[in-house]
Structure 1
Amino acid sequence: MKKKRWIFTLIIVIAAVGFYSFIKFNPPIEVNTLGMSQSHKSVVVGIGNTGFSKMEILNVSVNNNEKPVEAKVQVSNHSRGLIITEDFDSKEAREFGFTNIKDVTIPARTSFSDREKDSDNKNDKIYGISALHNKAIHTVYIKYRYLGISFEEKVSIDS
């Protein structure tokens, strides 16, 4: 009886480690758009979730893990797209649904490749991380959580 319990426990542990490893080596974030202002002090990184559960953005930093002056998530629709702005409060920018990072979760199946497969609905929501900084931005770091596991995506901005 003890041997069966031990084997069952071992199988559960192996399955849990396998699941964790699969998720860790196949992160769900997809970067599909990249835009920047001429000064490179404002960037937008379009993101999607290829996974089967929601994804939570935890933090955004730039360059050498510096805190940006401001960072927000754009929630827009496919036909309107994303905007590059240096002022989140401008009249033009308000139409693009800028939201605090902590207030947005990225639903499953919101990746660019999923959208291409099901291109019937042009009003699907699209998501972008927008960051403003007082110096040119060369790198954006996006920390996020998926199924309780933390990840960090490094996005290089070509100058």
Structure 2
Amino acid sequence: MTAYWLMKSEPDECSIDDVLAAPHATVAWTGVRNYQARNFMRDAMRVGDGVLFYHSSCAEPGIVGLAQVASGTRPDPTQFDPASPYFDAKSPADKPRWLLLDVQALKKTRLIGLPELRTTPELVEMVVLQRGSRLSITPVSADHWRFITQQMMGGCG
């Protein structure tokens, strides 16, 4: 059964355009340093799951594309690189704390900005819109996925 996710990326670091320009439109989703988000990747995300690609920490945050999970998890090498902003000196090489998976961009969409998401009654329960929600990966219900892809994106999901 397909699951659905919203994955946030800072466009200065990895934008939807960057992913679409990558080989096979696929990138390794590095730098996740929250245990709950890591656990979603490890325990719940599967190849083929749908992804709402979301730009965060920018002038206009919001959903900017559709993607899919393209691999299972593996250790994130940035945790072992002292030059990386994601370096974790306490992560042992023989039992890494942090994982990544590959994400494949399927298409760029119109920006569905945070203000539009917040004012859409059908999405009021969406995890990313809940007060205090700051996770970089959040589950998306099948109903929310359908509404966003069929109503807000004009049937592209």
Confirm or deny a common fold (TM above 0.5): no
Please state which structure has a larger fraction of its residues in strand. 1
TM-score between both structures, scaled by the size of structure 2: 0.31
Structure ID, larger Rg: 1
Q: Going by fraction, where is helix more abundant, 1 or 2? A: 2
